[in-house]
Amino acid sequence: MKVLVGVKRVVDYNVRVQVKPDGSGVATEGVKMSVNPFDEIAIEEALRMKSAGKADEVIAVSIGPQAAQEQLRTALAMGADRAILVETDQTLEPLTVARVFKALVDQEQPGLVILGKQAIDDDAGQTPQMLAALWDRPQATFASKVEIEGESAKVTREVDLGLETIEIDLPAVISADLRLNEPRYVKLPDIMKAKKKPIGTHTLEELGVEIAPALKPVKTEAPQARQGGHKVESVSELVAELKNKGLI
């Protein structure tokens, strides 16, 4: 069974994001970029499936600029067998990304697609669900545990009221949540080996995917700075402060 895994290039989660002076977006020039953390969890889960004999090949896929090869090589260093870059300098909305994955699914015929539940840059969290709809296959989102059993998968999902366990037929789409696993540490020798591995490339035109943006960003603004608080000495003083602010 092939496992297709999404790898998105995002601003590293340790970096304090800055808005461009003209408000047209987030500044990325000279900023450290990394694999989206939820995608890193998805890669790790696919590699564990292969180690357990549940998968034969792990294919990492990124959609973005040529610089996204750096994140694909991280996936290769972790243990992915192949990497595919769909090269574009444009920012794509979730539906277009889902259509790209659907085109690759048609080519590769994977038994499973694992994506991060969301990307930390836009927090959309829509691509896995849209891909499942386009593919007309089952989905299991926000997974915290995955067990492959023959032609099906038992998935424990994180939902508002706790945990939910469902069983889905394969092929399917799974989105990785934070507690699914802890990604492995990438060793230097593996990084050096990954630099020599070839990366397959495609364009949107080759895959027959058109960019049809449905949203137009008007302006990007940084959140207002939080005001400093102060400590109170007793519960009664706390209640009085909340009343003064009209909160109770």
Is pLDDT at 113 greater than 90 in this prediction?
yes
Task: Report how far Cα 60 is from the mean position of its chain's Cα atoms.
Answer: 12
* Residue 26 predicted with pLDDT over 90: no
Residue 215: the pLDDT is 85
- Specify the amino acid at residue 130: M
pLDDT at 247: 86
pLDDT for 217 equals: 83
Q: How far apart are CA 77 and CA 30, in angstroms?
A: 24
Rounded CA separation 15/12 (Å): 6
Identify the structural domains of the chain with CATH numbers, from first to last.
2-220 (3.40.50.620)
Q: What is the dihedral of CA 130, 131, 135, 137, to 10 degrees?
A: -80
Rg (Cα) of the chain, in Å, rounded? 21
In the predicted model, is pLDDT for residue 25 greater than 90? no
Least confident piece of the model among 11-25, 84-98, 109-123? 11-25
DSSP state of 195: T
Mean pLDDT score across all residues of the chain? 93
Q: Return the pLDDT at 116.
A: 96
Tell me: pLDDT of 245 over 90: no
> With bands split at pLDDT 50, 70 and 90, how would you rate the model's confidence at 95?
very high
d(CA 45, CA 23): 38
pLDDT tens by residue, 114-157: 999 999 998 999 999 999 999 999 999 999 999 999 999 999 99
Going from the C-alpha of 75 to that of each of 45, 118, 210, the distances in angstroms are: 12, 18, 27
Say what the pLDDT of residue 201 is.
95
Predicted confidence at residue 169, as pLDDT, reads: 97
Rounded to whole angstroms, the Cα distance separating 244 from 103 reads 58
Closest listed residue to residue 39, CA positions, set 62, 55, 20: 62
**Measured distance CA(212)–CA(226) in Å, rounded:** 37
Nearest-10 Cα torsion for 206, 210, 215, 220: 30
Residue 230: its pLDDT value, please?
A: 80
Residue-wise pLDDT for 169-214, tens only, equals 999 999 999 999 999 999 999 999 999 899 999 999 999 999 888 8
Q: What is the pLDDT of residue 22?
A: 87
Residue 248: pLDDT band with limits 50, 70, 90: confident
Does pLDDT of 43 surpass 90?
Answer: yes
pLDDT band at residue 24, thresholds of 50, 70 and 90? confident
